[in-house]
């Protein structure tokens, strides 16, 4: 008797396109963080915005507003494309501040040096806002605050870091995941938020919006 089991007929209802996520950022750091938790965005749709703080706007509210604006711009582009129309979207923005003073994303050595001298030997705050939009256009968001204290930087350390050019385009003129990690005396809060995307909050928001964040976790979805 032939005991070979016949293949089961394909259930067409179970064959669905893999859920897609659009990252509203060109940041390699945010992409790497998403990949760390098993999420590979279907597309990157960064938004080119004026990030100048408004009069009286707090660092926290600036981060929230910019994340919302990035999300809206990315959503407008994604909803106009057949391959991305039903995707989830994620946007984030990171602001480094000393008190209410917002530090720029350093574009020149002088700008970076000014930031680092201000941060030297003192505590500052990092605010990262995360916004998620579902395919039904339901938005969820969170602002995460971390406190970072730098050691007092010597002139040699300052010049060495400026020569590395690691500061280019970084909020506050430094990247904690790089050489500047050696400057950090104390960190209270989420390390990944300081890098650019708080993973716990991002995963929670995506999960709440219906995105299967654990799909690639060995069958745990």
Q: Crossing angle for the helix pair 109-119 and 155-164, nearest 10 degrees?
A: 140
Catalytic residue among 2, 82, 93, 207: 93
Is 48 marked active-site? Answer: no
Smallest Cα–Cα separation from 124: which of 108, 145, 143, 110? Answer: 145
Q: Crossing angle for the helix pair 199-208 and 28-36, nearest 10 degrees?
A: 70
Note the helical H segments in 84-145. Answer: 109-119
Buried b (16+ CB within 10 A) or exposed e, 83-117: ebeebbbbbbbbbbbbeeebbbbbeeeebbbebbe
Contacts with 159 (C-beta within 8 Å, 6 or more apart), sequence order: none
14 vs 96: CA distance, rounded Å: 46
77 vs 81: CA distance, rounded Å: 7
- Strand partners of residue 146: 126
Buried b (16+ CB within 10 A) or exposed e, 168-198: eebbbbbbbbeebeebeeebebbebbbbbbb
Active site residues: 93
């Amino acid at each position: 008797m032939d005991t070979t089991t016949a293949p089961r007929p394909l259930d067409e209802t179970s064959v669905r396109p893999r859920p897609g996520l659009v990252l509203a950022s060109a940041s390699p750091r945010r992409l790497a963080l998403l990949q760390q938790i098993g999420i590979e965005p279907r597309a990157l749709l960064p938004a080119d915005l004026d990030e100048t703080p408004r009069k009286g706007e707090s660092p926290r509210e600036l981060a929230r507003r910019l994340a919302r604006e990035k999300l809206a711009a990315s959503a407008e582009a994604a909803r106009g494309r057949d391959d991305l129309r039903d995707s989830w979207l994620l946007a984030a923005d990171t602001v480094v501040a000393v008190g209410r003073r917002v530090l720029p994303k350093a574009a020149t050595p002088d700008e970076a040096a000014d930031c680092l001298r201000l941060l030297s030997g003192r505590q500052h705050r990092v605010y990262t806002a995360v916004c998620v939009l579902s395919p039904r256009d339901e938005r969820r968001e969170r602002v995460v605050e971390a406190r970072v204290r730098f050691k007092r930087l010597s002139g040699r350390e300052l010049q060495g870091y400026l020569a590395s050019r690691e500061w280019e385009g970084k909020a506050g003129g430094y990247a904690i995941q790089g050489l500047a990690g050696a400057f950090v005396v104390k960190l209270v809060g989420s390390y990944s938020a300081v890098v650019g995307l708080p993973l716990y909050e991002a995963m929670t928001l995506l999960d709440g919006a219906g995105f299967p964040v654990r799909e690639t976790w060995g069958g745990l979805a």
